[in-house]
Structure 1
Amino acid sequence: MEVVGELKTAREMGLVGCTRCSRVSPMGTQYCPRCGSALQSRDGLSLQKVWAWWLVGLMCYVPANLYPMLETRTLVSTESNTIVGGAVELAQHGNWGVALIILAASVLIPVAKFVLIAGLAIGVWRGPQVSGQRRHFLYEVVEYIGRWSMIDVFVVAILSALVQLQALASITPGRASLFFALSVIFTMLSAQSFDSRLIWDTQRRGDAPDHGLASDDVRKESSA
């Protein structure tokens, strides 16, 4: 197949895309004609936002695994379980399917999100170690699995609403439920703060982008 010429990015062709509605406009347009969102070729503070939300989410995830997620009170006893402890107890009672779902939603998915977001940010900062197509695929995976991170909180909320037998038995959320919900929210904000267009900048140059230059470009476009 004959190659007509080198492929160019929208930025090189003097175009900028809206990150909200995907409409393409000429470079220098300040607001999207379709949805009214502010347009910028690159977010110069993208990595700073990613790491800020990432660190706060990690700080909340630690107590979410140390404090009890669920507290069960009966006439004769009071029992509290952490996320992992509750999954282990379910497995001991033969509920392996539910235990695996809780472990996947509360441990595997959050840890995978932390690792993938950090890997994407480091790849932009230090330079690409894998292809841009693969890194963009990992970014899409992070965006997709984010919606499943609240399963454990939903289970606690449902059990707390259903099992309320006054003096006989009651189930209430533990302190870990708040920290876990905050951790999920902060990691979602971290993933949304990542400007995926930086992946292709590093792919074309083969090294880390000049973030100062990107910021200058944004200022020039805003003043145009």
Structure 2
Amino acid sequence: MRDLGKDIALTARDAGLVACTRCQRVWPMAEDRCDRCGARLASRDTGSLSRVWAWWCVGVMAYIPANLWPMLVTRTLMSESEDTIVGGVIELMHHDAVGIAIVILVASVGIPVAKFIAIAYLALSVRRVTLLSAHRRQQLYEIVEYIGRWSMIDVFVVAILSALVQLNVVASVNPGPASLAFALSVIFTMLSAQAFDPRMIWDRIEESARSEGGEARPA
């Protein structure tokens, strides 16, 4: 700890160290590659926010047709029907499968929209004053990273139905064009979250502490 009018924790960057974001091994800042996993070392990823917004935008662009195009195409001897994500949820509710409908609605609509909002909030909070503390924003980032793997439930359901309900001429269930758009949206959103450098969350705190302590921040 150092006395700058108040106690401030010594950061790895102040100590001339940098941590590998892949394996968490700490190296001297002069090193440019991690000898353990081969990842590139950088105190801060300066291009992080640009990549976050780029992946975020294409993720939103893919998510719009994913909700407008049919997710499931059902063909029988007498008819052919196409259901969007929300239309499929409504259809499941009409068949008293409320539990499955809620799961699909949360996984296909609630979680993706929440991830878009959370990632945008984290990216904006790096440059702006926010209500959430740095610790809470770090937790939010970890939640976004964790739930990313569960965002493909709707695509999994379509794939399983397509594999099970194939009765040749009698009936068939096939994925619609929305399934590809939805899968791409999930992938782009995951890439957006992974592109974010969570270390930037703590930079504003360090800057405030240094300005209060009257010490300039090292480059």
Q: TM-score, normalised by structure 1?
A: 0.89
Query: Is contact 1:18–1:24 with CA below 8 Å preserved after alignment?
Result: yes
* Counterpart code for 1:167: V
**Does 2:194 match 1:199?**
no
Match in the other structure for 1:114: 116
After TM superposition, the runs of 4+ consecutive aligned structure 1 residues lying more than 4 A away are none
Output one character per residue of 1:142-197: Cα deviation in whole Å (capped at 9) or x when no partner. Answer: 00110110000001011101111000000000010000000000000000000000
Select which of 67, 92, 101 maps to 2:69. Answer: 67
Match in the other structure for 2:30: 28
- Between the aligned partners of 2:108 and 2:10, the Cα distance in structure 1 is 42
Match in the other structure for 2:60: 58
Q: What are the ranges of 5 or more consecutive residues in structure 1 without an aligned counterpart?
A: 208-216, 218-224
RMSD: 1.9
Higher relative contact order (CA 8 A, sep 6+): 1
Match in the other structure for 1:44: 46
Query: Is contact 1:128–1:202 with CA below 8 Å preserved after alignment?
Result: no
- Between the aligned partners of 2:204 and 2:163, the Cα distance in structure 1 is 50
- Between the aligned partners of 2:77 and 2:57, the Cα distance in structure 1 is 42
Instruction: Give the percent of matched residue pairs that are identical in Structure 1 and Structure 2.
Output: 62
For residues 150-165 of structure 1, the aligned pairs below 5 Å read 150-165=152-167
- Between the aligned partners of 1:164 and 1:116, the Cα distance in structure 2 is 39
- Between the aligned partners of 1:115 and 1:144, the Cα distance in structure 2 is 16
Q: TM-score, normalised by structure 2?
A: 0.91
Q: What are the ranges of 5 or more consecutive residues in structure 2 without an aligned counterpart?
A: 210-218
